[in-house]
Structure formats: C-alpha cells, structure tokens
C-alpha cells in the first residue's frame, strides 16, 4: 500500500484512470475527500463496496438462499445516478447490479434474474421497450417485475408492452421511495394473476381513491382524477413541480398496501408537468 501525506487543498492524481482525489477538509479524525472521476468509473466507500461484492463472492447453498437479499437490476445510461442508487440500496440491504444499455440488461436477465428490474426506457442498444418485448416474447428472458424509472419527457411505453410494467416513477426518485417500491413489487409479484378483475371496480371506489390521493398531495396536483384500466391504477392530473408528481406516486403506493388494492396490479402516473 502506498501511503502519502497531503494537506488541505492538495491532490492525488491517477493519470491512467483520469481520477483526481483532493483533500477538502480535516476535522479531528475525519477527513473529507473530493473525488473527480470519469462517469464510467464508479466510486464507493470501502464498506459499501464490500457489501456490494459480498453476495457475488459467497456460495449459493440452501442455507444462504433462505436469507438471500432482494436482487435488483438497475438499467440506466446515467452511471452517476445508478451508482448513487446502488450505494443507497445496498445500505438498505439489497443486492444491486447496474447496466447501461439494453443488451447488457437482457444478458443479465438471462444469467442472473433479479427480483425487480428498475428500467429507464431511454437506454440505448434496444431501449427499454426492446427489453420489455423480449421479456414478453422470449421464454429464456424472465418476465420479472419492472419499475419504469424515467424522466418526465421520456417515459412512454407502448400499450402492447405496458402489461409488463408494474410501476412507474419520475426521475429522480428519492432512494427511500425507490426501496419501498422495489419491496412492494417483489412482495406482490407472485400473486398478480389471482387478483379480481379491475372492471368490477365501482365508481364510488374510484372516487374514494381520488379523495385519498388528493389529501396526500395537498393540492399539488390539479385536475386530479383516478381510474382503473386493465389492472392499472391510473392517476391523471397536472402539477407545477416534480414534487407534486412524487407525492402522487407515494400516495398511489400507499393505496397498493390497502385491501382495496386487489382491484389493480400496476400504477401509472399520467401527471403532466405545467411549464411556467
């Protein structure tokens, strides 16, 4: 191990990797480091990286399988964002892998199917829709639960592929909310086909759902309407900020935990962002 002494403001440079490490501040025994690295190079704290690698380095006997953490695959071209989510989710006990395009995503699904796939529809080399199409058409590509995590202007999924989407969320989703959505999808993925027909849902029930979401969003979503279409709870409305959309998503997730959620198996946010 190379040991170097540095003062505040001084740096360490790894020229072959394009990485610069600077000392930002020293406070007693705590040292704050600033790290500048290319987007394709993930940066983790040591204890977090060891937790990320541990599930891959250990064996898979039956005793370990009993306490196996939820496996999550994040397919997103934004390496910085996906690395941030990976670190946050690992700290919450998940086993997380990341890929940056459709080809890597499909390959990972075939080799090591996750419990939940977090998918950005805008990924290259096949795109999110290509991944969903293969999950539907190819038996060797497992049809795992999917959380579509997309920017407001690029979250569309074709109607014939929407059945594979169990939840939608607008970027950037807070890590704690993503963790809650992943757990919800993983816990509910095995009983989707046993739920009642959504067409049996009454108008009164939909009105009650609308009132609950309206109370949760506290006026941040205008023209709020709720309906159930082909097993999807669709929330319509308009918001002046991303915060309003996040509130609507959180409210819909809370409804999925209620007994009435038997009427729907998916959540779809149709909340337009008003431009000022």
Domains of the chain in start order, with CATH, are: 9-38 (no CATH), 46-194 (3.40.50.2300), 198-273 (3.30.300.90)
Q: Is residue 190 over pLDDT 50?
A: no
pLDDT confidence bin for 73, thresholds 50/70/90: very high
pLDDT confidence bin for 275, thresholds 50/70/90: low
Q: Is residue 97 over pLDDT 90?
A: yes
Separation of alpha carbons 176 and 163, rounded Å = 26
pLDDT confidence bin for 164, thresholds 50/70/90: low
pLDDT (mean) for 6-14: 91
Highest mean pLDDT pick, 30-34, 228-232, 264-268:
30-34
- State the pLDDT at residue 252: 77
Asked if 71 contacts 86 with a C-beta cutoff of 8 angstroms, the reply is no
More confident residue, 199 or 27: 27
- State the pLDDT at residue 152: 75
- Range with the lowest mean pLDDT among 11-25, 40-54, 74-88? 40-54
Q: Strand order of the sheet with strand 19-27?
A: 11-14, 19-27, 30-36
- State the pLDDT at residue 172: 85
CA 224 from chain centre, in angstroms, equals 25
pLDDT confidence bin for 52, thresholds 50/70/90: low
pTM: 0.52
- Range with the lowest mean pLDDT among 11-15, 56-60, 155-159? 56-60
More confident residue, 198 or 54: 54
More confident residue, 160 or 41: 41
Q: At what angle do helices 79-91 and 46-57 cross, to 10 degrees?
A: 80
Q: Is residue 177 over pLDDT 50?
A: yes
More confident residue, 51 or 228: 228
Phi, psi (rounded to 5 degrees) for 82: -65, -35
Mean pLDDT of the chain: 78
- State the pLDDT at residue 196: 38
In percent, the amount of the chain with pLDDT more than 90 equals 20
Taking CA atoms, 179 is separated from 74, 118, 188, 275, in Å, by: 12, 11, 14, 30
Separation of alpha carbons 35 and 33, rounded Å = 6
């Amino acid at each position: 191990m190379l040991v170097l002494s540095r003062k505040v403001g001084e740096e360490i440079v790894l020229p072959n990797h394009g990485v610069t490490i600077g000392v930002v501040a020293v406070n007693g025994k705590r040292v704050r480091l600033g790290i500048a690295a290319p987007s394709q190079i993930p940066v983790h704290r040591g204890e977090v990286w060891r937790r990320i690698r541990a599930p891959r380095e250990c064996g898979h006997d039956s005793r370990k399988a009993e306490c196996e953490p939820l496996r999550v695959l994040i397919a997103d071209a934004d390496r910085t964002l996906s690395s941030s989510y990976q670190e946050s989710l690992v700290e919450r006990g998940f086993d997380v892998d990341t890929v940056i395009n459709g080809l890597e995503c499909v390959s990972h699904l075939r080799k090591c199917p996750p419990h939940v796939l977090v998918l950005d529809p805008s990924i290259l080399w096949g795109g999110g829709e290509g991944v969903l199409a293969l999950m539907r058409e190819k038996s060797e590509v497992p049809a795992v639960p999917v959380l579509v995590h997309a920017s407001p202007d690029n979250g569309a999924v074709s109607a014939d592929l929407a059945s594979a989407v169990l939840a939608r969320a607008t970027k950037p989703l807070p890590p704690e909310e993503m963790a809650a959505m992943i757990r919800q999808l993983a816990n509910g993925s095995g009983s989707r086909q046993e739920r009642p027909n959504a067409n049996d849902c009454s108008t009164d029930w939909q009105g009650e759902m609308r009132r609950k979401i309206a109370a949760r969003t506290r006026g941040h979503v205008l023209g709020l309407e709720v309906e159930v279409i082909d097993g999807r709870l669709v929330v319509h409305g308009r918001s002046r900020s991303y915060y309003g959309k996040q509130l609507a998503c959180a409210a819909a997730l809370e409804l999925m935990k209620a007994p009435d959620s038997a009427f729907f198996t998916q959540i779809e946010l149709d909340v337009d962002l008003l431009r000022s």
